[in-house]
Amino acid sequence: MQEAAYGGRYALAPVMRAALLLLALVALGGAVMWFARSGALDAPPGVVAPVVLDTGDALGRPALGPNSLPDGVEAARTAVVEIDPGRLADRPTVCLRVVEHVGEEPVVGAVVRRLATGADLAFTDERGLAFVPLEEPAQLAVVAEGFLLRLAPARPGSDEQDPQTVRLVSDAWSCVRRFEFVDSRGRPVDDVFVRFAGTSGLSSSDGRSLSAMDPIEQRAWSEHLMMVAREVSRDQNLHAGAADDHVYRSRASALAVRFAASGRYQLQAATTSGLVAATAVQVRSGPEPPAQVVQMTAGVAVAGRVTDTAGVALSGARVTLRGGDPLGLTATTGVDGAFEIGPLPSGVQTLLVRHALHRPAAVDAVPAPSRGRRIRLEPLQRTPLRGCVRTRPGLQPVPGATVIWQVAGGGAVTTRTGVDGTFALLSAGDIAARLIVQAPRHLTYSELVDPGAGFANYDLLPATTDERVASGLTATFEGVLFGPGGFPLGDASVRWRPSNAVQPPVALGRRVLDGAIVDLPNVIKTDAAGAFVLETARFGDGYLVVNGPRQLEYAATATAGQRLQGLELGR
């Protein structure tokens, strides 16, 4: 009996110890929560504590968290955009020599970009030389930190021995301002998206300074003002003035912006972690002042539901802000029509709402924060539209073709053609929209068509070279390109340069966007075996041109419906 009692006494001891340990952990957890709520428990030095945006949850969905956006919200400004450089030659055809206007020292690391798209094409080396593989003349821009943007109209033919010189002028006229972003506790905030809206008193620059410019500086400043708001300046933190809607991304401790116009601006800033700021900025000519410290606080949100006029929830409606915002926010409604958009500064917003086949709406004077907003969208007017889809050149009906009425900024109405190639659909809206026609083995056709337009034929072109040549729509040059020593030359360019550059006619009075003509490149690359098939719809006499150490030209004739085969170029 004593043995049993002895064993029972010590068998209960582990359970008691576990219970005491649990009570101690609960007490410790409570103390930590009390300290955290009272602010007594600070983050370690140099670490930014997360700020939670408490927007409530009246719609039963998660509130805006510390490191994410609300459900269904996208921030377009955070997306990485790749710019297509366009068609390029297989070797450098343009050489730019980039030097400083004063002293003519070479500028190393300057970027050469297409003016139209901002695509990077080349960088200058230690000699200030940039080699650009252009196929045809193009307007280029030369960009370098601390210099004015310069235009460089380039034409193939310059080289290292005879380069095209571009003189960069140091930017002594812009007004430089620096901004530091901190949270409510004064700690630095990283990865901030910033934009500036001009409000009053804007002037291009100090007139006395401009009057002292020499002719090259005056031209450079004029070119700079023309390009500063374009894509070529995307990484230079340049601001053109009131109409410039650039958004700048500050990843470091400070953001430096070069303003081309002085005056009063409104700074707007936001982060994907839920912080926002809005403050006035005064930009004046003269020496750069100390950095302006911008304190960011927790943003707020606007939430609601989108329905049709009958109160049925509209899924997939897109909600944005009039005038935009630094993050480029777009909220998409869920199956219940609910949305939440943020982070936003406290104040009044105008919401823009779009949905498929409904009329877009602007909802003014929406307070932020707010929730429970009900937005009703009216259906678009529907009008019958009929037509016939045919194939060219035989004009035979195309059964089973897909016809799409694409509503601008919204959804689409689709149908298929019958056995006789005809179709009928209810077009939506009261303005012209894109009508798209697709069918297997044919090129896609699109045209701007008015809703309720009269019956019309929509003709498709064959999608394959064989069918186009057999139909007499195009011709081909086919052969092999040989290099030095008589070996086939792969990955080389062969160009067709017709003497007569007339394109096939397009039906007058039609607003055709794509598919009315066979839009073929005039240059192609040879394959690994040096073989090429160059198709063209530009008929008549001309030359096949081969680029290389020296340009070679071969007289040829393109005849509709014929394949000129067995060509041997370079021998």
Q: What's the 3-state SS for 54-113? A: CCCCCCCCCCCCCCCCCCCEEEHHHCCCCCCCCCCCCCCCEEEEEEECCCCCECCCCEEE
Domains of the chain (ranges; CATH) run 94-168 (2.60.40.1120), 175-297 (2.60.40.1120), 302-377 (2.60.40.1120), 382-460 (2.60.40.10), 471-569 (2.60.40.1120)
Burial class (CB in 10 A: 0-12, 13-18, 19+), 564: middle
Specify the DSSP element, H or E, that contains 37: helix 2-38
Tokens of 290: 């100390």
Q: Supply the pLDDT for residue 521.
A: 84
Contacts of 330 (CB under 8 A, 6+ apart): 73, 74, 76, 318, 319, 320
Confidence of residue 2 (pLDDT cuts 50, 70, 90): very low
Helix ranges (H only) for 111-269 are: 207-211, 215-227
Mean pLDDT computed over 392-420: 92
Per-residue burial over 198-213, b = 16 or more CB atoms within 10 Å of its CB, e = otherwise: beeebeebeeeeeeeb
Q: Edge to edge, what strands does the sheet with 563-569 contain?
A: 531-536, 475-481, 563-569
How many helices (H) and strands (E) the chain has is answered by: 4, 40
69-83 pLDDT per residue, tens: 888 999 999 988 889
CA atoms within 13 A on the CB side of 102: 8
By three-state DSSP, how is residue 379 classified? strand
Q: Supply the pLDDT for residue 245.
A: 85
Closest CA to 471 of 392, 526, 551: 392
Give the C-alpha separation, 331 to 375, whole Å: 14
57 has pLDDT over 50: no
HEC profile of 423-489: EEEEEECCCCEEEEEECCCECCEEEEECCCCCCEEEEECECCHHHHHHCCCCEEEEEEEECHHHCEC
Give the C-alpha separation, 166 to 153, whole Å: 10
Q: Supply the pLDDT for residue 303.
A: 96
Q: Edge to edge, what strands does the sheet with 150-154 contain?
A: 120-123, 111-114, 138-143, 150-154
422-452 pLDDT per residue, tens: 999 999 988 899 999 999 999 999 999 999 8
DSSP label at residue 508: T
Closest CA to 496 of 514, 468, 515, 477: 477
Contacts of 14 (CB under 8 A, 6+ apart): none
| 7 φ, ψ (degrees, to nearest 5) | -65, -40
Confidence of residue 204 (pLDDT cuts 50, 70, 90): low
Confidence of residue 407 (pLDDT cuts 50, 70, 90): confident
Confidence of residue 285 (pLDDT cuts 50, 70, 90): confident
360-383 pLDDT per residue, tens: 999 999 999 999 999 999 999 999
pTM, two decimals, is 0.74
Q: Supply the pLDDT for residue 50.
A: 30
| 294 φ, ψ (degrees, to nearest 5) | -115, 115
HEC profile of 223-251: HHHHHCCCHHHCCCCEECCCCCCCEEEEC
* CA Rg value for the chain: 33
Write down the residue that tokens 């089973």 correspond to.
400
Who has greater pLDDT, 353 or 286? 353
230 has pLDDT over 70: yes
Closest CA to 489 of 481, 497, 479, 499: 481
Q: Supply the pLDDT for residue 509.
A: 74
Q: Supply the pLDDT for residue 205.
A: 52
**Cα distances (Å, whole numbers) of residue 72 to 301, 329, 352, 471:** 13, 10, 16, 50
| 367 φ, ψ (degrees, to nearest 5) | -70, 145
Lowest mean pLDDT among 240-244, 266-270, 395-399, 468-472: 240-244
Q: Supply the pLDDT for residue 251.
A: 87
Residues 68 and 51 sit within 8 Å (Cβ to Cβ)? no
Per-chain mean pLDDT for the chain: 85
Residues 261 and 198 sit within 8 Å (Cβ to Cβ)? yes
359 has pLDDT over 60: yes
